[in-house]
Amino acid sequence: MNCKKIKELIQLDYMDTETSAAVTEQIRGHLRSCADCRAFEHMIKETVSEPFRRAPLVEPPERVWCAIKEAIELEHHRAVEMFPSRVVRWVKAHLLINTPAFALSTAVTFALMVLFYSQLPFHKQHAVKDYLREQSQFLSSLQDPVNGDFERETSVGTPIERFLF
Ligand SMILES: [Zn+2]
């Protein structure tokens, strides 16, 4: 291990005795032979580790623990209260089509239905009209040929045609 790595380990893990036995032994061996790293270790001990080691242990007052407990319970309570609205939101998001899209599709379906039903009698009407026209033409063709030809050329002649048109 080089000095850089040793110094890195001294700063991070060695001071907290987090290094493994083998690594600790390596660091100690290096420190015995390297004055520079020994000085660095001493500086770290004095400025970083020792002030905390010498500091007295402070027990937090009871009210601090109570405040933490209350905050946790309040958070839990809120989460439980939020549950129904979360379910509603999930159902809306996953199961229901949103309202404008639903309204539009309903309107389109209704319009198509109206169009379909309004078209249906027209077709029937046209069919009836066409049938009657054919029948009247056939009946008029059975009349006197000269008279029939003349009448057909000039106008709608037969009484049925006059009635219909
Ligand atoms: Zn060194």
pLDDT tens by residue, 97-126: 566 776 777 778 878 877 766 666 666 667
The per-residue pLDDT for 98 is 60
Exposure string for 112-148, b = 16+ CB within 10 A, e = fewer: eeeeeeeeeeeeeeeeeeeeeeeebeeebeeeeeeeb
For the chain, which residues make up each domain, given as ranges? 3-54
Expressed in angstroms and rounded, the spacing between residue 22 Cα and the centre of ligand 1 is 17
**6-19 pLDDT per residue, tens:** 999 888 877 777 78
pLDDT at 148 over 70: no
Task: Select, from the ranges 17-21, 138-142, 152-156, the one with the highest average predicted confidence (pLDDT).
Answer: 17-21
Exposure string for 67-99, b = 16+ CB within 10 A, e = fewer: eeeeeeeeeeeeeeeeeeeeeeeeeeeeeeeee
The per-residue pLDDT for 122 is 61
What residues sit around ligand 1, an ion, with C-beta below 5 angstroms?
3, 34, 37
The closest alpha carbon to 152, from 165, 161, 129, 163, belongs to 161
Percent of the chain with pLDDT over 70: 75
The per-residue pLDDT for 33 is 95
Greater confidence (119 vs 50) lies with 50
Q: What is the mean pLDDT of the chain?
A: 78
**57-78 pLDDT per residue, tens:** 888 888 999 999 999 999 888 8
pLDDT at 145 over 60: no
Expressed in angstroms and rounded, the spacing between residue 5 Cα and the centre of ligand 1 is 9
Greater confidence (63 vs 82) lies with 63
**130-141 pLDDT per residue, tens:** 887 887 788 777
- pTM surpassing 0.75? no
Expressed in angstroms and rounded, the spacing between residue 2 Cα and the centre of ligand 1 is 6
